[in-house]
A and B are shown apart, each in its own frame.
Chain A
Amino acid sequence: MDQPLHLVHVKILAADLLSLTVRHTSPTTFLRCGRRVARAELVGVVVSRDRREKFLRFLVDDGTGCVPCILWLNHQYLNARTSSGPSSDHDPTAEMALKMSEEVRLGTLLRVRGKIASYRGAIQITVRDVVPEKDPNSEVLHWLQCVRLAKECYDLPPRSAQGRT
């Protein structure tokens, strides 16, 4: 049976991510070699950052492309709208997002995981978590994992298509 790719964060290079097929359904879906992907894991260097009140936008450059990423920091607004009781000052999700935003600095090597999204016709990542990578070799390992997974898993034709050939 085919492994469902949309349930996992696929380790991916920016060039592969930015060339996914976008299907404008509701919600928007993304296909890699005919298989649906929904979440991605990237490793690259932060080359640009733009901090606003409700979000942090940044670009991750892995040498094959620059991926726009958005980290939402508006949890207090969402909580105020959804919570009927008195709002709590201590929101661990907001605190975590804020802490992660401080890790995103120019020149830092980051591992970014999140949902693949489309904004104004361009693919971007809605960040779930970011981890600064201290070991520069972790980027090299990520490259090799991406290439191997592409060859052995992601880019294999779906079983149904194999059966027809």
Chain B
Amino acid sequence: MASAGLKPGVPVILRELEPSSEMFKQGASLRVTGSLQSFDVESATATIQDGSVSLKVDTQHLRDVSFRTNSVYQFIGELQIREVDDAILLARIGRNVDGLDMNLYQQALLIRRQHEAKLLSSRRA
């Protein structure tokens, strides 16, 4: 069902998901991207990696996504922080993004954030 109250999955780069980051919050709606390192069939947990940073993604609610190691995936969902350093993304959306230029994606994301910050400050003014 179309839920108007759904929060957008804010795109983040995996290395930004540190405990000190403002995005590292319980229940934060995020969009994460990384290549699939492993997939645990029993718990439906995927581990994605970008550079030297990895993140666990709970995919139990996803349908019609087939997982292939080393393919690039994007997930939208809510962050569940279990311990100080241990977090998992509870995915509600997942898709394969093989062919995505990660370098371009990350640079464009920074440009887009500057635009959003400008919009936010103009709204406050």
Contacts and interface: CB of A to CB of B under 8 A. Distances in A.
B2 A50 contact: yes
B51 interface: no
Nearest to A140: B108
A41 interface: no
Instruction: Give chain A's interface secondary structure class.
Output: mixed
B8 A16 contact: no
Contacts of A68: 2, 4
Given A61-B76, A143-B112, A66 B1 contact: no
8 contacts: A13-B115, A45-B74, A58-B2, A59-B2, A59-B6, A64-B8, A64-B112, A140-B104
A15 interface: yes
Nearest to B3: A48
Interface residues of B, number: 35
Given A48-B2, A50-B2, A137-B99, A143 B116 contact: no
B15 interface: no
Contacts of A109: 95
Interface in A54-91: 57-59, 61-66, 68
A63 B11 contact: yes
Interface in A68-127: 68, 106-109, 122
A107 B94 contact: yes
B10 interface: yes
A69 to B, nearest CB: 9
Contacts of B4: 59, 66, 68, 122
Given A66-B6, A144-B108, 11 more contacts: A13-B116, A45-B74, A47-B76, A47-B92, A47-B93, A59-B3, A64-B112, A68-B4, A136-B99, A140-B104, A143-B109
A19 B119 contact: yes
